[in-house]
Structure 1
Amino acid sequence: MTTSRPACTRPDCGRGTIDEQGFCDRCDRPPLPGPVATPEHPVRAGAGVAQVRPDPWYGLGLVDPVQAPEAQRAPDVAPEPVAEQHRFCANPACGQPVGRDHDGEPGRTTGFCPQCGTAFDFTQPGGFTIADRYEVRRTLGSGAYGAAYLAHDRNLATDVVLKALHRSVAKTALHERDILVELRHDSIVRILGYEDEGPHLVLEYVPGEPLAARPGDRLETLLAHGVRVLQALDYLHARGLLHCDVKPLNIIRFREENPAGPLDRVRLIDFGAVRSQTEDTGPVVAFTRAYAPPESDPEHLRPTPGFDLYGLGMTLREVCRSYGTDRSAPGVDSLHLLLERATHPEPCRRFGSARQFAEQLSGVVRQVVAAPPTCRQVTRLSALFGPAPEPLHGGLGAARPLAHWAGARPEKDALLEMAPPFRTPDPGDVAATLPAPPSDPDDPGGGGALTESRLALRRRDAGAAAERLAAADLPDWHWLTGWYRGLIALADGHPQQAGTAFTEARRALPGELIPALALGLCAELDGDRTAARSHYGTVFDTSPALGAAGFGLARVLLPAGERARAVEVAEKLAKEFRYEREARVAAVRLRVMTLPDLAPPTEDDVDRARAALPALDVTDAAAAALRAEIQYAEFLRTGDRLRLSDAVRALGPHATTEREYVALVDLANALRPKPSWGWWGKRDRSGHTRSGAVPGRLSL
């Protein structure tokens, strides 16, 4: 009897099975861990995110550990009066209850004991003990469910927080206790105990302050705190819980002592509004209006993890407000797009899971830290897109084709009219080369139709690709719809329409670089070099390993007159092993390339290009073409037609057709200096001119 083997859970495999040793027989890797469905806890659609996003928190590794400042005492809030059940006469010989309610009226907070006449003042807490164990020191905060006190635990000799709850919500207190007592997470405040007196929840005391930007904070530091809160929310959501009150006041920023030095950390607190996704079926009752979805939003009737993610989006918008004024700053535009998605008016367009949110937030962190002073550039595989595209250098990374020289036409003073030295990649090539996933990792439906659409694009069949996209039956707002529509528009030769479609994908995936690269290519194809430069710069500055962005950036920099910057880009790209050959060729060509309205190369440009030529790994034909291009730049500076003619003549042996060979020889002859016949000059028997010869010209 044979038993079926489990299928491989890796999204880039899909058809393998796990052998006896625990490895896939197709991709030779162990399966990714994932949630196990049970009849009592079925896995919802989209729960497979954990399998395809194994490390959405990578942004934390890009931010340098921050040395936290000295811990400051959190400011006291306006104190609430001592709860009536704790009001007793201060006279030890009396100790009778005082200040209690009667006839439906609240008790007095100040006055005199009716038994012994001793004065009392309960307007501020302090000086009383709860459960014969907790000495109340001061008020830390006050909320809808009661006040929070800083108290000293006599038994443990440490400070704790007592969260006093009104008697009307005693059931809520028990619910909060039962749910949270088992939680253990570095970014979630710990529940230490529960006291019936009050009742009170006993929490660990985190001496800090609500999350806010401090003077000198860098943007990536605040965004890293957002990733940490998402880790906490992912932990909660995986256990079927919702916080339902995520806001700056409920995220404490504190100083964590560490052997390497004090660190800046955050912790999620106040679980008074916590609810179970399965047991609590009514609408949300307790929330903070400014950080919750609109009350008309479906999330209020049947909340999902999106309720908490919306609150974090509003929190980050508030905390990072002062950093978002200049959208041209690295990562800031992406941050705006991220927060727009997190708080979008339509719930379906928001983030569906903490991991999905964190992956894009980590991508924004990646863009921010790539800029000075950090200058940390990271190459990593995307969870959504396939491998990096081909260079799409548009001819910049290769020598000029011999056909360009064969078709050149000399004008006055031997200036050559030639084909452009490079071009923007063909839209069809771009559509066939840009990577695309077969389906959305959060919703694997429609994968077969999308794969067929992708194959049609590679065949340059835009019509068939559009038909298969329609068969995938994706919503119009879905990022995959926008992505494939962009590819189809490119294949059909409409870069402007493609740019509009890719913009939707970019809005949904602000932490991804591939949509920004696609927008740069569309802008260049549409003639908008300014927009192209912005998109290419975002991608290249973040990850030079995406070579198409580097070549594209160089293509738009050179016509703008920034030759030195274009060369710098190519030389930086040459450090990436995959594109080293093409980038080094591009650096040589960019130094000596000529374009209309572009200042000619300098002597230093020509010398540097000539010096770099011997080290290039190119064919003899390519080397000859590069020497000709260098010599033409030299000719523009010195007017030396003879050496230019010799360089063009050297291309002849590499011609592939007789017609091309003849054209090259004709061009070389046309470039030679024209002889001048001086009647007064004569040659002696040795052939040397004796008099009247013009230097540099033939005389008889």
Structure 2
Amino acid sequence: MSEERRTCQRPDCAGAYEDMGGGELYCDTCGLAPVVPPKAGPAPEPVGSVGSAPTGINGATTGSSSQSARSRRSVSGRLSRSLPGRSGGRSVSVRGSGSASGSSGRGRLGAGLVVVPQVPRPDPRAMVLDNPQVPERKRYCSRSDCGAPVGRARGERPGRTEGFCTKCGHPYSFVPKLRAGDIVHGQYEVAGCLAHGGLGWIYLAVDRAVSDRWVVLKGLLDTGDQDAMAAAISERRFLAEIEHAGIVRIYNFVEHLDQRTGSLDGYIVMEYVGGKSLKEIANGRRTPDGRRDPLPVEQACAYGIEALEALGHLHSRNLLYCDFKVDNAIQTEDQLKLIDMGAVRRMDDDESAIYGTVGYQAPEVADVGPSAASDLYTVGRTLAVLTFDFQGYTTVHSDSLPDPDTIEVFRRYESFYRFLVRATDPDPARRFASAQEMADQLTGVLREVVSLSTGQARPALSTLFGPEVRVTDTELFPALDGDVSRLGARALPGPARPPALPPALVRPVDTPAAALALPVPLVDPNDPDAGFLAGLSTSAPGELIAALEAAPGRGVETRLRRVRARLENGDREAALATLARLDEERPDDWRVVWYRGVAALVTGDFESAALAFDAIYDAFPGEAAPKLALGLCAEVLGQLDNAAEYYRLVWTTDPSFVSAAFGLARVRLASGDRAGAVRTLESVPESSIHYTAARVAAVRARLRHRTAAAGDVPFLDDLTAAAGQVEALDAYGLDPARRERLSAEVLGCALDWILSRGQDTARPVDGGRVLLGSGLDERGLRFGLERAYRTLARLAPGGEERINLVERANRYRPRTWV
């Protein structure tokens, strides 16, 4: 180190400059460089970890993050990424689907869907720091347009805890201004320091005037101007009006004279919230090798829902939180609270300093300032930080998400990934329209995640879609018009009959009918024709079209209803013409995009339909309807794996969508997973009106188009199970004709199995097992088939059909002496 010394230029400083090497001079007393001209405008923020950035109240980073030119709007679903038109698919911008404010009385975390481990409320005295110090790596200039490192070590000399920024000359101090026993405002007795924030130390105190309750004192921005401080206190008093269970309560704003410096310091007096911050909870989870173990998605979603409810309350009062992150939310027992209200500002405030944190703050804040959309962005980023090892979230990914193929939680939960993509879209207009809408979609994602992880469905009514209109394609298999047994039927005398072709394994889906059976978007209550549409009682398409033509107004909802009615009436050209006009006027209205997908399915343009429904999935990742539609698109496009996954997501979450069960069974059968198809069909609950149809399909799925090989024990088990289900269906009103046809199919398959074994067919199998009242041997099964066909003949409406059924009965009848 050079021995050159010069007197400090600062008038009130008796120190001298030291050459620290390279010609850099710093005062050995105040730490100020000789000449530091102040910069005009905000300086760029340091890039790095949150801990190394200039911070605001309670760790809030000052300034705003740099904006990346990269667009994160690159969601590629497992279906749409394989389509040639994916890059040209249009996204959806939406209106809010509900109020921005939320209720304040939720009893516990997780919306009743998941149990979040409670965090016990600690003894406040135990939280006081014994030796309050700020690590050198976290010492930064508090001036909003500077943020330079201060108080750092030089060689072997430790960094100064007080001094002046060598870059801008602004004073800094990391020494607590208040000590245990100090009385602030004649009311608050200081117990000690709790933590250090961007504006100074945070203190625990006892309110001697109100039942000795515990409170927290946080410093206000130290301007050095008493009049400005008084004005700041007056301006911030609106925070005391905020009352919400998820937001820390502000009690008072006070001033205190610092006896050591003579400065008049301002403090926010706020509720003491004992517990752990989300940052502490996340950092406390470690794998056996010491690495951080991300939170379960369910737990993170539970936190997000509560945070959005609190933010929605602020937004409803024209306030912005500005700096939500893992540091600024505390779980105490079974409740989450937002803390650190120092960054809160009015939506129309264009004067106050903006506080945010690199890696959390929305990219547009640097240019246009904060907004409700930028608040929602911070929630999305926080959920990302909590749920996976988000390397580089303050640097290379400061305003982007990693490739979903590299993140295991994104591969497992596509809906969660799509939720984060929309929440953190670079374009604020493409994010969720309100905290309420975002919370609704996050709750839907949570329902899906919980259903997948527990196997227990978590259905709920949608705020955007009605239920599925109808369930189509419940008859999975073509009818068997000929003999039910390939080996056991003997031809009657007469002309030779041509051999029967093997029937198709699964009946193809009726795509237009299935498209029109998809859920219908709910009518926007703000539409001028909402009342008129609610009063429509006719359901016949022709009558409905006439009624819609006579509608008093020409609102969007009426025109959309007309599109649907014309599609149902088969007037596709008129429907497409109306939809084309709507598309020109409102190309990004999600309802128009939805009907564009429905019309494309009806007209056979399956790829365009998939792109439209994929855009709806991007916009509403918590909804079942777009996934159900994408499952149908994937099925008709021949992408069976993708179809099975989308159908599975819907059916696992909400069993009221029975068409998802039949769709999943179809694609599993088509891909050779007979057992999976049977499990799906048998999972349709008894409460469903389609229970009988599902059980009938399950019986046929076990047996239809199956080769009965000798010694096939699983086939015998399937025969027994199928017979038991046929008998059980008697209690559910299965009509006699269908019952006997199903019995004939079971007995015919059993006869084939007996004859294919190549053993004594007159000897009962498996200790005399009985199927549908018939012994499991050739003679018993033939008598059973004869009985079934004769019953069907008595039930047949026409003579020719009756004759054919009697002939089949005779064909199966065993030879007897009488």
Q: Work out whether the TM-score is over 0.5.
A: yes
Partner of 1:78: 134
AA aligned opposite 2:376: L
C-alpha separation between the residues in 2 aligned to 1:487 and 1:586? 27
Given the superposition, is the C-alpha separation of residues 465 and 106 from structure 1 closer, same or farther in structure 2, using an over 3 Å criterion? closer
CA contact (8 A) 1:411 1:417 kept: no
Partner of 1:50: 99
Partner of 2:385: 318
AA aligned opposite 2:426: P
Tell me the secondary structure at the aligned position of residue 481 of structure 2: helix
Partner of 1:528: 639
Tell me the secondary structure at the aligned position of residue 573 of structure 2: helix
Please identify, of 313-322 and 285-294, the stretch whose mean Cα deviation from structure 2 is larger. Answer: 285-294
AA aligned opposite 2:509: P
Q: CA deviation at 1:228?
A: 0.8
Q: CA deviation at 1:455?
A: 1.3
Partner of 1:436: 520
Tell me the secondary structure at the aligned position of residue 245 of structure 2: coil
AA aligned opposite 2:515: A
From 339, 359, 384, give the equivalent of 2:464. Answer: 384
From 126, 134, 154, give the equivalent of 2:189. Answer: 134
Given the superposition, is the C-alpha separation of residues 408 and 567 from structure 1 closer, same or farther in structure 2, using an over 3 Å criterion? closer
Q: Aligned-residue CA RMSD in angstroms? A: 4.1
Work out whether 1:592 is the aligned partner of 2:703.
yes
From 329, 334, 342, give the equivalent of 2:423. Answer: 342
Given the superposition, is the C-alpha separation of residues 504 and 153 from structure 1 closer, same or farther in structure 2, using an over 3 Å criterion? same
Tell me the secondary structure at the aligned position of residue 449 of structure 1: helix
Given the superposition, is the C-alpha separation of residues 372 and 288 from structure 1 closer, same or farther in structure 2, using an over 3 Å criterion? closer
C-alpha separation between the residues in 2 aligned to 1:552 and 1:697? 44
Partner of 1:220: 298
Tell me the secondary structure at the aligned position of residue 61 of structure 1: coil
C-alpha separation between the residues in 2 aligned to 1:247 and 1:443? 37
Given the superposition, is the C-alpha separation of residues 409 and 370 from structure 1 closer, same or farther in structure 2, using an over 3 Å criterion? closer
Higher RCO (CA < 8 A, seq sep 6+): 2
TM-superposition CA deviations, 1:400-452 (whole Å, max 9, x none):
64xx3159996999895343354242111012111221555788862121111
From 477, 497, 511, give the equivalent of 1:427. Answer: 511
Given the superposition, is the C-alpha separation of residues 224 and 128 from structure 1 closer, same or farther in structure 2, using an over 3 Å criterion? same
C-alpha separation between the residues in 1 aligned to 2:178 and 2:115? 42
Partner of 2:727: 614
CA contact (8 A) 2:483 2:489 kept: no
C-alpha separation between the residues in 2 aligned to 1:642 and 1:105? 103
CA contact (8 A) 2:681 2:697 kept: yes
CA contact (8 A) 1:291 1:310 kept: yes
Work out whether 1:196 is the aligned partner of 2:255.
yes
Tell me the secondary structure at the aligned position of residue 201 of structure 1: strand
TM-superposition CA deviations, 1:464-496 (whole Å, max 9, x none):
332222333564344323321210111002333
Q: CA deviation at 1:383?
A: 1.0
Please identify, of 497-506 and 153-162, the stretch whose mean Cα deviation from structure 2 is larger. Answer: 153-162
C-alpha separation between the residues in 1 aligned to 2:104 and 2:647? 26
CA contact (8 A) 2:296 2:387 kept: no
CA contact (8 A) 2:128 2:192 kept: no
Given the superposition, is the C-alpha separation of residues 559 and 517 from structure 1 closer, same or farther in structure 2, using an over 3 Å criterion? same
> What is the TM-score with the length of structure 1 in the denominator?
0.73
TM-superposition CA deviations, 1:525-580 (whole Å, max 9, x none):
22222111111111111111211111222222334444333333222213333322
Partner of 1:209: 276
C-alpha separation between the residues in 2 aligned to 1:47 and 1:326? 28
Please identify, of 210-219 and 72-81, the stretch whose mean Cα deviation from structure 2 is larger. Answer: 72-81
Partner of 1:260: none
From 437, 451, 469, give the equivalent of 1:370. Answer: 451
Q: Structure 2 stretches of 5 or more lacking a match?
A: 1-93, 142-161, 257-264, 286-292, 391-406, 491-498, 529-554, 756-777
From 542, 549, 554, give the equivalent of 2:665. Answer: 554
Within 5 A, what are the aligned runs for 1:131-530? 131-132=185-186, 133-135=188-190, 137-143=192-198, 145-156=199-210, 157-168=212-223, 170=229, 173-174=232-233, 177-197=236-256, 198-212=265-279, 213=282, 214-215=284-285, 218-253=296-331, 255=332, 263-277=333-347, 279-281=348-350, 285-295=354-364, 301=368, 303-322=370-389, 325-327=408-410, 329=412, 332-373=413-454, 375-396=455-476, 401=479, 404-406=480-482, 417-420=501-504, 422-437=506-521, 439=523, 446-473=556-583, 475-530=586-641
Q: CA deviation at 1:337?
A: 0.7
C-alpha separation between the residues in 2 aligned to 1:334 and 1:283? 38
Partner of 1:571: 682
CA contact (8 A) 2:202 2:218 kept: yes
Within 5 A, what are the aligned runs for 1:6-45? none
C-alpha separation between the residues in 2 aligned to 1:190 and 1:296? 27
User: How many aligned positions are there?
Assistant: 586
Q: CA deviation at 1:349?
A: 1.7
C-alpha separation between the residues in 1 aligned to 2:691 and 2:629? 22
TM-superposition CA deviations, 1:565-624 (whole Å, max 9, x none):
333322221333332222222232223222589989611211222222233222222112
What percentage of residue pairs aligned between the two structures are identical? Answer: 33
CA contact (8 A) 2:630 2:643 kept: yes
Tell me the secondary structure at the aligned position of residue 577 of structure 1: coil
C-alpha separation between the residues in 1 aligned to 2:353 and 2:375? 12
Given the superposition, is the C-alpha separation of residues 462 and 596 from structure 1 closer, same or farther in structure 2, using an over 3 Å criterion? farther
C-alpha separation between the residues in 2 aligned to 1:220 and 1:389? 31
CA contact (8 A) 2:467 2:520 kept: no
